[in-house]
Amino acid sequence: MINIIFEPNILLAFFVSFGMLFLYFLRIVRPEIARDQDIFFATLGLLYSSILVIHGWRLDPILLFSQVLITSILLPTCWENIRLRLISYVFFNSRLPNQTE
């Protein structure tokens, strides 16, 4: 049975899917900082958000809260990872060619 009701699970699924679509489009916008494993993690995140939409109405409040906590840890960690990739890309490509360590 598929029962889609607008509850907090839809909002949570929207945030997760937005973050995972950002990972997909990162390959188009900034291919130098995209990694191959991003496709795998973005696919898992989109699958997770679709499960939240379809079966989220079954979640008890404590289970929904645990999903909110997991998502609130996951999305900033992904953002920090992408930021660090960009910083390391800029750092390693800004060195002079004759510098060696």
Q: What is the pLDDT of residue 47?
A: 93
Q: Tokens standing for 13? A: 């699924």
Establish if 36 belongs to a structural domain: yes
Give Cβ neighbours of residue 60 (< 8 Å, ≥ 6 apart): none
- Name the pLDDT band for 99 (thresholds 50, 70, 90): low
Using a 10 angstrom Cβ sphere, with 0-12 exposed, 13-18 middle and 19 or more buried, the burial of residue 16 is: buried
Which structural domain range is residue 72 located in? Answer: 8-93
Distances (CA, A) of 72 to 2, 29, 35: 26, 25, 23
Overall number of domains in the chain = 1
Establish if 12 belongs to a structural domain: yes
Distances (CA, A) of 42 to 3, 15, 85, 99, 101: 25, 13, 17, 37, 36
Convert the pLDDT of each residue in 8-60 to its tens digit: 888 989 999 998 998 899 889 988 888 888 889 899 999 999 988 888 877 88
Is the pLDDT higher at 51 or at 3?
51
Establish if 18 belongs to a structural domain: yes
Q: What is the pLDDT of residue 94?
A: 80
